[in-house]
Chains A and B, each alone.
Chain A
């Protein structure tokens, strides 16, 4: 519930910041779908955690290395609101000024998402598909579930 309310609030905040497209996404995904999925997950999980498996060192090392690389990379990011940041110097003005001539679509957000940044959006869609496949592989289709509960019964 708090998640949902928070998402709705931040959607309102995005509208106040004139980022209507982001607000739209936040309201639909954050306040709608992810709340349902969070509730469904709560319904699936029990109150108790299974007795711990042994501690694994390798994942910790991977996480630490990835984290420090990310932190190292973030040092190069220009400060927030820097008008001299590279993205404000050549990409943003071109998108804003040339979009109507080059793409011919009134909504600049759509032309950036779908046309100028087409690769990124293709990647995002692929990520969604892959994530969906991952969840389906974990939770399984209905038919496979029955087989699994049967085999579980045999084990017991």
Chain B
């Protein structure tokens, strides 16, 4: 892809917008369409686009697979942790109402946190899958 100048330039322009849009979908999921799952996929596809155009090594330098593996597990842990926090604060598992003084505030906080967990896991797994497929392919050929 070294000589595809148009592709490289457009990609450079697009990637910040894609990542920003993913964050918007992530944190605006309470009010508009979207949520952690969609945001994770969009964020992942931004990084995957970077990997396709600029090469696997550069994408892996941006987010190393070892970091991604930790992030993927952290997302689920954050989700479960929020659920367990509900128990420790006197509620039930995944009951967000006890997280803040007012039940609706607690619900807001809980949903924000678990959506963040969902988004983290989904984005990390999507990028990891791409790395696994693309890396396998290259070594088979090389």
Report Cα–Cα, A103/B111, bound state, in Å: 9
DSSP class of A's interface residues: helix, strand, loop or mixed?
helix
User: Is B98 part of the contact surface with A, judged by Cβ < 8 Å?
Assistant: no
- Give the shortest distance, in Å, between A119 (CB) and chain B (any CB): 6
18 CB-based A-B contacts, threshold 8 Å: A21-B33, A28-B45, A33-B41, A33-B126, A36-B130, A40-B130, A43-B137, A103-B107, A103-B111, A105-B30, A105-B107, A110-B111, A110-B115, A113-B35, A114-B35, A122-B80, A131-B125, A136-B69
Decide if A125 touches B31 in the complex (CB within 8 Å). no
Find chain A residues with CB under 8 A from B75 CB.
125, 129
Is there contact, CB below 8 Å, between B129 and A21? no
Q: Give the complex CA separation of A137 and B110 in angstroms.
A: 33
Contact indicator A44/B136 (Cβ below 8 Å): yes
- Given the known interface contacts A33-B44, A33-B45, A41-B133, the answer about A110 and B30 at a Cβ–Cβ threshold of 8 Å is yes
**Interchain CB contact under 8 A, B118 and A121:** yes
**B104 — which chain A residues lie within 8 A by C-beta?**
102-104
Give me 20 other A-B pairs in contact (C-beta within 8 A), A24-B25, A33-B48, A132-B72 excluded.
Answer: A20-B33, A23-B33, A24-B33, A28-B38, A28-B42, A36-B48, A37-B129, A40-B133, A102-B103, A102-B104, A104-B104, A105-B30, A105-B31, A106-B31, A107-B30, A111-B111, A122-B80, A136-B132, A139-B133, A141-B132
Beta-carbon contact of B129 and A25 below 8 Å = no
Whether A142 sits at the interface, judged by CB under 8 Å, is yes
Interface residue ranges, B against A (CB under 8 Å): 25, 29-35, 37-38, 41-42, 44-45, 48, 52, 65, 69, 72-73, 75-76, 79-80, 83, 93-94, 96, 103-105, 107-108, 110-111, 114-115, 117-118, 121-122, 124-126, 128-130, 132-137, 139-140
Which residues in A have their C-beta under 8 angstroms from that of B29?
Answer: 107, 110
Chain B residues with Cβ under 8 A from A21's Cβ?
Answer: 33-35, 38
Whether A146 is near chain B, meaning CB under 8 Å from some CB there, is yes
Partner of B133, one of A28, A37, A142: A37
Which residues from chain B contact A103 at a C-beta distance below 8 Å? 104, 107, 111
Interface of B is mostly: helix
Q: Which 6 A-B pairs have the closest CB atoms?
A: A104-B104, A132-B125, A40-B133, A118-B94, A20-B33, A139-B132
Closest to A137 in B: B132
CB neighbours of A24 from chain B (8 A): 25, 33-34, 38
**Min C-beta distance of A35 to chain B, whole Å:** 10
- CA–CA, A119 and B96, complex, Å: 12
CB distance from A94 to the nearest CB of B (A): 15
Q: How far apart sit A65 and B136, CA to CA, in the bound complex (Å)?
A: 36
Q: Please name all residues of chain A whose beta carbon is closer than 8 Å to the beta carbon of B72 when the two chains form the complex.
A: 129, 132
Set of chain B residues within 8 Å of A9, measured between Cβ atoms: none
